[in-house]
Chains A and B, each alone.
Chain A
Amino acid sequence: MKKTLALLIALVMVVGLFAACGSSPAPAETKATEAPAATEAPATEAPATEAPAETTVELPRNETLYFAGQQWGTVNSWNVIGTNQNNSMAIAGNSGGYRTLMFETLYMFNFMDGSLRPLLADGDYAWNEDMTELTLAIKPAAHWSDGTPVTGADVVRTFDIGVQIGNNTGSGFGAYISGIEADGLNVTIKAALDENGNPVNPLKILDFLTGTPIAQAAWIDTVVARCGNDSVAILNDPGEDVVWSGPYTKYFSDDQKVVLIRDDNYWGQDASMWGKLPVPKYIAHVIYADNPAGETALKAGEVDVCQQFIGNIQNLWLNDGLPISTYYEEAPYGVCLTMPTAWYNMNVPVLAENVALRKAIAMAVDYDTIIANAMTNQSPSFADVPRSVMNPTAGEQALYDHDAVADLQWAGNDIEGAKKLLDDAGIVDSDGDGWREYNGEKISLNAVCPNGWTDWQASMEVVAAAGEKIGVEITTLYPEWSVYQTVFTNPSQTEYQIYMWSPDAASPSNPWQRVNQLMGKVFVGVENNWSGNWGQYVNDEADALIAKIPMTTDAEELKALYTELTKIYLTEVPSFSLMYRPSVFHAVNESVWTNFPSGDDGRNIPPADCTDGYGIAALYELELVG
């Protein structure tokens, strides 16, 4: 009785609660965290990071281009010659091209056709006869944000300081460029020479042109002076007073978002460059907690350009009817530039000694499932683009003889073929436990990638499933990123046996750079190796061929070299590509802005988030909807 009463009272209370809610005015709608309260900040020198915490900026929606998927934490530095920075919107060298919103390169790379378009440089560069010197001129119109002109001296100082303090410019190009000389606006880049007097690698000099942001010599001097010429201090300087040449500059930054504002004095409005200013006044990036948050914002129209992998992205327009599109309307939706690859650890004897085992696992993996599951078909299949050392772009695909290696390529899921290969190699299950043995010991491998990298994790699951089908035990392992990065870059580790990492995507030095990463001996044994050959594979024949490529200009000869290298790669299987993948994802929501680049618009602007390399051209042609 007591209980019934209690129940009744509880019921009455609950009903009362609902009634109260119902009669009270509708609960205030959760406001978008965007931008309440106004503080009109001055147009140029902005409050930036020292803005008080309660300050919020209001950005007119129809003047702001919102991004997602680039910046994941508070911006810590604007120092373009430093290394301690996470500033993805202003200082980021992507494989598909340098992000030239604030700092500019000499040339812009267009991965659609492999071309180099002048930015700070005036017209084309020129090689001398034996490719030991490259000359170019700086555009007379180019000037810094403080009004002084950009000159050859800035290029020289940018390179010299890089070599001195060992930043990305120095460590990336110091070995290939012996020095840069300038005479006014003219710049001469001298290639480093090997013992025979030949340039070490002319391709890397082209990478320098598109991958190095030029900093102002006078500003560099200021930083050097204030840091007392101490390399570490210079690398870690926050660079708040940096001088820039690009169309945008810092405006606001905190742990919620980072905003760049257009510099209306930008030199590029000169007829010798763009002839106008970029359309959006503000470039804003809200700092989202994770991918789903960014995806939700894209769907809601709070983000215009999204650099995130979104599974089954076609459903956003097919099922949800959202004004979202990608570069191509049909799969693979974007332009794939790289191949996330599973590397075999050559420190593990069973893998190093058995080509058959390496090839059998690679043959048994069901790539169609990986591409359909992990990439939700945002990658061409290995039937469409047979495996080689090339990415799927037409330019690279034309660089090797497809018929010559056709017999070596495999499309995957060939369980019988893999089993036969293992049986023939004598790797059989002799004790009847269902798993194969080598030298009397059960083969037990792990397949590893960082935890939380969903598409890679799914790929490793598929690799493990393939192992089970051919009687080779493969278990998956997903360590945290902090652990993973220390182990897989260690040249003597045996902890991980099959593990994932991507070789280079696209730049003027590719596909040479990628081939070098897949089989180059130069990376073997390098401590803290972020550069290439993560499986420690050694093949002198391949190495000799790789060394020839940079100096080869004859198209036929080049093709023969690449074909030979592809043959070695597919025969020896030191690693195997799991899928093709864009270097940056590019999805746009056209709720506010339109006229984004697309595959069929004939403009040849790459899908590089409107920011990278020649992709920035899109910013000058955006239009408001309606």
Chain B
Amino acid sequence: MKNTLRQVFHSSKFVVGFCIFAAILLTMIIYPLYNPGSPLEMIGVGTFAKPGTYVSLYDATKAPVETLRLSDADDKRIAASLSQDDRIAMVEWFTIMEIDVSDLDISDTDALLALWREHYDPSVKPKGMTMAKRNYYKRLNNALLELQGADTLIIADTDEETGALVEKSKITKTDYVNVSTVANVKVLPLGTDNFGRDVLKELVSATGTSILIGIIAGTVATLIGLTLGLLAGYVGGFVDDFIMFITNIFTVIPGFVLLILISYSLGQEQRGATVVAVVIGFTSWTWTARSVRSQVISLRNRDHVNLSKLSGHSLVRIVLTDILPYIASYVVMAFILQVSSGILAEAQLSLLGLGPKTTEVPTLGLMMNWAMLYSAHTNGSWWAYFPVILTIALISFSLNLMNTGLDQVFNPTLRD
């Protein structure tokens, strides 16, 4: 056993796969300690908040102020509300209004703004200009008005008795606060999803559920496949024919179609994560059964098996002690592949809206399902689905890598 393990861990492929998988598992265990709470909690009120650090504006106004005089602060401020395109659009407006702009320097913000103040009128509707364009100019004008705003912002509170605004504090352009002094800062490394849930937290929890689904599905599939394969292979005769008949039927029916039909007929009410896992297991055992059977056939006439038979050992004992150990390595590899395909099957099912019900636990497939329903892929919210795809890819990649590594160790034809 020790020797086998040493051998296995000498395979670089297995080690890489194992490390990736272990890293994923570790993240699953450790991350919730840092970021506790329900992964389904809807913290954001809007949809798809961008990844980044969110600072409470309310608390920031109360944090101790440092004065920093940064020479490029004003430039940045202007650039944030007046892009190069905006400047060109302003010149277009002047042209439509038939104003001479031949000696206007487009990068001269003051001159541009002065001319704009003079000539822009939101009520004018130039012929042929679309509503979208007019609205754009209105927005631009508002942004410019803000740019020209006073140097000091006043924070005011309503007086409870008189209802009048009472000045509480002022904020100037050179006021800065240290983020660490702000009471509420939320880091959302992967932003929020369509429900305003923390994607990273959800992803970590979903990975756990999906791996669990994979393991249950893999266990079910492997158990069924192994039992049938062992029986068919060892007993042979009618039992073999009958089991192979069933297996062949299941092989020719596309497994995924069967999966869809079963999931659909179960109805959403019944579809918890475990049920979905079991259903996946029940539809993907066939190739394990076939392979185990062929391996067993090659084993059943070995001397030690015959010896066992002669000694009068029971069928169960022969299978468990004289056959199973010889194919154990193969079964482990098959199991790993089943886990991997189980995770993928859940993702596919959920993407079609046939996955586990959504209120209970997040799964990788459900996250993709909701991201797709909310067109995350067309509105550029990559953080809602890309990390999920990456995680699925990493999990199956690591599992397959481990499988290949094991194969190299156990399969005599591949052994170096």
Q: A122 in the interface, Cβ–Cβ < 8 Å?
A: no
- Min CB distance, B1 to chain A, in Å? 30
Inter-chain contact B46/A372, CB cutoff 8 Å: yes
- From 561 to 605 in chain A, residues with beta carbon under 8 angstroms from any chain B beta carbon are 588, 590, 594-596, 598
In the complex, per-residue mask of A187-219: 1 if CB is within 8 Å of any chain B CB, else 0: 000000000000000000000000000000000
Which of A372, A465, A478, A588 is close to B268, meaning CB atoms less than 8 Å apart?
A478
Segment with Cβ contacts to B, from A107-115, A137-145, A223-231, A316-324: A316-324
Which residues of the partner chain B approach A48 to less than 8 Å between Cβ atoms? Answer: none
Which chain A residues lie closer than 8 Å to B133 at the CB level? 323, 590
Q: Is the CB of B268 within 8 A of A479?
A: yes
Give the nearest-CB partner of A460 in chain B: B359
The answer to whether A465 and B42 have CB atoms under 8 Å apart is yes
A292 at the interface (CB under 8 A from B): yes
* B131 A311 Cβ-Cβ under 8 A: no
Interface of A is mostly: mixed
Mark A313-345 against chain B: 1 for CB-CB distance below 8 A, else 0: 001011100111100010000000000000000
Taking CB atoms and an 8 Å cut-off, the chain A residues in 407-456 that contact chain B are 446, 451-452, 454
Cα-based distance from A137 to B377 in the complex (angstroms): 55
What distance in Å separates the Cβ of A86 from its nearest Cβ neighbour in chain B?
24
Q: What residues of chain B lie closer than 8 Å to A494, measured between beta carbons?
A: none
Shortest Cβ distance from residue B367 to the other chain A in the assembled complex, whole angstroms:
13
Q: Interface size (B, Cβ < 8 Å)?
A: 33
Range class of the A interface residue count: 35 or more
Q: Is A625 in contact with B47, judged by CB distance below 8 angstroms?
A: no
Q: A421 to B357: give the CA distance in the assembly, Å.
A: 29
Cα–Cα, bound, A625→B358 (Å): 47
CB of A458 within 8 Å of the partner chain: yes
Is B136 on the interface with A (CB-CB < 8 A)? yes
Decide: A311 near B268, CB < 8 A? Known: A372-B46, A451-B353, A458-B195. no
Q: Which single residue of chain B is at the shortest CB-CB distance from A483?
A: B267
Looking at the complex, which one of A319, A377, A464, A590 makes contact with B46 (CB distance below 8 Å)? Answer: A377
Interchain CB contact under 8 A, B131 and A373: no
Report yes or no: A462 in contact with B42, Cβ–Cβ below 8 A. yes
A465 to B40, CA, bound (A): 9
Q: Write the B16-57 contact mask toward A (1 if CB under 8 angstroms, else 0).
A: 000000000000000000000000101001111000000000
Once the chains are docked, how many angstroms separate the CA of A311 from the CA of B195?
13
> Which residues of the partner chain A approach B357 to less than 8 Å between Cβ atoms?
475-477
Q: A373-B195, A454-B373, A598-B131 are in contact. Are A446 and B269 (CB under 8 A)?
A: yes
State in angstroms the CA–CA spacing of A317 and B137 once bound together. Answer: 12
List 13 contacting pairs A-B, 8 Å CB cutoff, sorted by A: A311-B375, A312-B47, A322-B132, A323-B132, A325-B131, A369-B45, A373-B42, A451-B353, A461-B195, A479-B267, A590-B133, A595-B131, A598-B131
- Residue positions of B touching A, CB distance < 8 A: 40, 42, 45-48, 128-133, 135-136, 138-139, 194-196, 267-269, 353, 357-360, 373-375, 378-380
In addition to A373-B47, A452-B373, 18 A-B residue pairs with Cβ atoms within 8 Å of each other are A295-B378, A312-B48, A312-B379, A319-B380, A322-B132, A324-B132, A325-B130, A366-B42, A376-B46, A461-B358, A461-B359, A462-B195, A465-B359, A475-B360, A476-B358, A477-B269, A590-B131, A590-B133
- A-B interface, 7 closest residue pairs, ranked by CB to CB distance from nearest: A590-B130, A323-B132, A372-B45, A594-B130, A454-B373, A464-B359, A372-B46
Residues of A within 8 A of B (CB): 292, 295-296, 311-312, 315, 317-319, 322-325, 329, 366, 368-369, 372-373, 376-377, 446, 451-452, 454, 457-458, 461-462, 464-465, 474-479, 588, 590, 594-596, 598, 623, 625-626
